Structure 1
């Protein structure tokens, strides 16, 4: 069950639920009749789920779901040209995939029916817990994407058409089953099953994420506080399980968590994905942070403005020196330390989206060497990167925990205390600083104090000051790492991505063109580049106003996304099912209803 060396053999192919392999002869001695004999066999079977659920940096040039490249569709990123649009029409083809679920249900079935008398009770319960954990994980993903989905807790027969073409199961019924799977896993998965394997604390960390997601979705989208409370309580239970274990801590500087070749034994990390060129497991994410790649995206002005100042105040009210100076070097001295750890110190013309490189995913010494004119080492070119990815970090569990507690307080739970903040957000803010950061004047951010919360003039009035600051902390901690878009969806706040209402989504970092990028003030860029002042005024370069070109960079080709809110037959919060899938049901004499908010024909 290791991420490092996933063993994919006939067992994976024969039992994985992919019909294209079912009619092929055995490639090894393993068959469905002989595979479920030992714990090692079931362990081998479960190995294949790791890359599906724990993407990390992906592999090779496979960016789907990977950090950095997989998270450019949100209010954190500005893209060159038109900003990405939400789905606006029902697709003709494509459907949800049940391949993983069929495989997982098969595993659960075989462990339950073929191995109950072959395994010790502890081993039996552990592997049932592993299977049910992955099943709950996958159903959570489907529900978060589609809402109601057909639910199966068994292996479906190929000839049972009523089962194969069953209608969508109501979301709450599906998630109640997921809840039971998670509770079982939290009670029965081993506390330790070896290095780099899913243990009870990994289960708890993931459950803290998924239960919080469902709780907030129920509260803000469906207005179902009873169901929301159930999942908030589960998120708190899971988060406390990790925190109270004493196994994990915040001891590593921020950048090193993403630029290390080996995270083994790091107490900041519950689970990581290891990369090793010797076995052909590499990625390409760090290459996009090496200062030489041409990129068309970067941090938006909206994200840049959201970083808290080192005194714990928003920039509009801060007492740090010159808080309204948005030059990158000044931001590194005045903002939360994660800003300095995440971006290059000066604007770069090769990043046409924002001018600001996201260097969070490359070692500091490599960044400094390349910035000084040195070559990029081969392991940070192409798809030859071998830096590890922290799949599940302790800081995420802590932020999940404090958000769940704050949300639970709004639906009848106990109020958040200063002790809660000190054990979560303030513990994260106390993480060590890199030596290079200290040399630049970076300091740790002041603690968040319950009675002295920042008064942010940009705060959404529908969100309490406490939840606003918790959400800010989440945004700073996980920028370009976890899915910001998923947070906006579960908070029912996709309006934050409305470019008509939020002009800061169309611009990037602050730049003083005459002093920092004078080479860009050339005839070819006349009418192409512009800057946006703090007052929102836009100055377009016309060839003779170079001395006025200071502000937030905005390429003139940048256009807002098409309307997606309050549009008939468009629901940006849930994905539609394709027409071909609905037609397939109809040809068999069954009905598959379209996702809520989308046209039913």
Structure 2
């Protein structure tokens, strides 16, 4: 039986496959003398760890400043409050992992049998704690099962971030050493562990570098570990960037029903046979999920096809849609609807639908054929780790360390750009001619490598959009202020008729007063269905202009500890700036 990652129904399939197993105690309560007697027991138990892999919605449903919707998350508006309970302070998955590590070898199984399962447990414990540190900073480190009588552990204070992350690093190194080198998009391998290590260490290294207020040492140690992990994967794994036609490859990578084993290191799997679906098509073509669309500042960040900067054009912010998307980085036309767009399996040319996108820049990444447009009927696998991220991590870590060379760029960023036939990123040119548009956004980059660091951030934002990296990136770079800026969309010079694809047919009409009766165009009433910066005088579409946004630089880089947890454990301190009355 082939396991698909990680769907509760599929874990249950494994349980059903063992006669009588459903009559036993829960996995976390299994007595070791009753279980862990064979490799099949180890495999069955560790399969449950995969349930923590992000859901499809956790991957495609990002809503920070890359993608904007009709409503904004509390993290963007500044309306986060200290929760009474929950809030991400949950430890059930850790208990399962620690239980396994305490008990897997009570029956004396050989190391040849147990090794990869121990590696798997260490992988998931490292990932678990990394996510906790990203969210809360200091957290208690538990490497054993905590029972109700363990008063010392139940009242344990938060351990320093430095100690926890050193333990995370030890776990992920152990996982790398133990896991198999066989490549698989469905199972965690040595390469998955190296990809996770690359991600963890880049985050921690840059967080420590830019967040000087926390006085965290050894930023370079983690950046070097990110380089080492990335380089090992790059030189030994055999992964490569998926590439076909420059005008189709990026689209096809995400629209493919089965994850590409060339590039995708681990994916969340979906199956019509097992009735396991997700909702990305419906999400992008209906008004039911906030009408998501790319934000104007991200659209501006896509380079011209010849590698020059779109924002160097004097009128870049007031170009009509048809003109602004001409001759751009091909990934733009493979991420949103642009003139000439057709659905997979169809030849009808479609323009952006303002009934499904609040900005006018309608998403097409991950969108498959129309047969999957119904609610919760999408089937394409969702990448959790892919090779392009590792290449981006490598280049960024080396740039932050000040050790980046042109050859480093050629074996990382250039491979990503080659997929869509974009010119190479030139180190000397980037540093000599710093992009003022990016420099105005990323305010903490100041060293000699400033120009190339900004260009790598541009590349990262464009390549990984809609894969939910953006919040963590802004947090580690200390650029949270960007989410408080006014979000904007497409440009319109005012009231009137607009031909979005330049084919001689009116696609959008912006009007006042009574809605016109002519059939065909999309009608947007000024001031209600669309808000322009200058009203009748036109301008960029304003999104959520009636909602106040803020980002507290002294508080919002970490989440608060729930009140209930601090009442139960008086030794838990609250994160800076969060007031809970205790």
Task: Report the TM-score range of the alignment, normalised by the length of the smaller protein.
Answer: 0.7 to 0.9
User: For residues 93-492 of structure 1, what are the structure 2 equivalents within 5 Å?
Assistant: 93-95=85-87, 96-111=89-104, 113-115=105-107, 117-119=108-110, 121-192=111-182, 196-222=186-212, 226-252=217-243, 253-263=249-259, 266-290=261-285, 295-317=290-312, 326-345=319-338, 346-351=351-356, 353-363=358-368, 366=369, 376-377=370-371, 379-409=372-402, 415-431=403-419, 433=420, 444-453=421-430, 454-458=433-437, 459=439, 460-463=442-445, 464-492=450-478
Displacement, 1:81?
Answer: 5.9
Aligned to 1:373: none
Aligned to 1:562: 549
Q: Find the aligned partners of 1:469 and 1:195 in 2 and give their Cα distance.
A: 30
Question: 1:105/1:471 Cα in 2 relative to 1: closer, same or farther (>3 Å)?
Answer: same
Is the Cα contact below 8 Å between 2:185 and 2:265 reproduced in 1? no
Is the Cα contact below 8 Å between 1:136 and 1:179 reproduced in 2? yes
Displacement, 1:332?
Answer: 3.7
**Match for residue 572 of structure 1 among 531, 556, 572:** 556
Aligned to 1:437: none
Is the Cα contact below 8 Å between 2:175 and 2:193 reproduced in 1? yes
Is the Cα contact below 8 Å between 2:99 and 2:145 reproduced in 1? yes
Which TM-score applies when normalising by structure 1?
0.80
SS in 1 for 2:564: helix
Displacement, 1:405?
Answer: 1.2
Q: Find the aligned partners of 2:381 and 2:256 in 1 and give their Cα distance.
A: 6
Aligned to 2:53: 53
RMSD, aligned CA: 2.9
SS in 2 for 1:316: helix
Displacement, 1:296?
Answer: 3.1
Q: Find the aligned partners of 2:49 and 2:113 in 1 and give their Cα distance.
A: 19
Displacement, 1:236?
Answer: 1.0
SS in 1 for 2:310: coil
Displacement, 1:520?
Answer: 3.9
Aligned positions, number: 523
Is the Cα contact below 8 Å between 2:78 and 2:552 reproduced in 1? no
Could you tell me which runs of 5 or more consecutive residues in structure 1 were left unpaired when the two chains were aligned: 14-22, 58-62, 367-375, 410-414, 434-443, 533-537, 542-547
Of stretches 84-93 and 347-356 in structure 1, the one that deviates more from structure 2 is 84-93
Is the Cα contact below 8 Å between 1:268 and 1:395 reproduced in 2? yes
Cα displacement string for residues 25-45 of structure 1 (whole angstroms, at most 9, x for unaligned residues): 649997542220112211111
Question: 1:296/1:4 Cα in 2 relative to 1: closer, same or farther (>3 Å)?
Answer: closer
SS in 2 for 1:497: helix
Aligned to 1:8: 11
Displacement, 1:51?
Answer: 3.3
SS in 2 for 1:342: coil
Q: Find the aligned partners of 1:416 and 1:268 in 2 and give their Cα distance.
A: 24
Is the Cα contact below 8 Å between 2:42 and 2:114 reproduced in 1? no
Is the Cα contact below 8 Å between 2:281 and 2:366 reproduced in 1? yes
Q: Find the aligned partners of 1:393 and 1:577 in 2 and give their Cα distance.
A: 32
Displacement, 1:11?
Answer: 9.2
Cα displacement string for residues 380-423 of structure 1 (whole angstroms, at most 9, x for unaligned residues): 210011111122111011001111111222xxxxx211010011
Displacement, 1:526?
Answer: 4.0
Is the Cα contact below 8 Å between 1:81 and 1:559 reproduced in 2? no
Is the Cα contact below 8 Å between 2:66 and 2:294 reproduced in 1? yes
Question: 1:11/1:277 Cα in 2 relative to 1: closer, same or farther (>3 Å)?
Answer: closer
Is the Cα contact below 8 Å between 1:294 and 1:350 reproduced in 2? no
Q: Find the aligned partners of 1:493 and 1:523 in 2 and give their Cα distance.
A: 42
Cα displacement string for residues 50-93 of structure 1 (whole angstroms, at most 9, x for unaligned residues): 231243x1xxxxx3x231x2x11x22133336674234432233
Question: 1:331/1:389 Cα in 2 relative to 1: closer, same or farther (>3 Å)?
Answer: farther
SS in 2 for 1:114: coil
Aligned to 1:41: 41
Aligned to 1:545: none
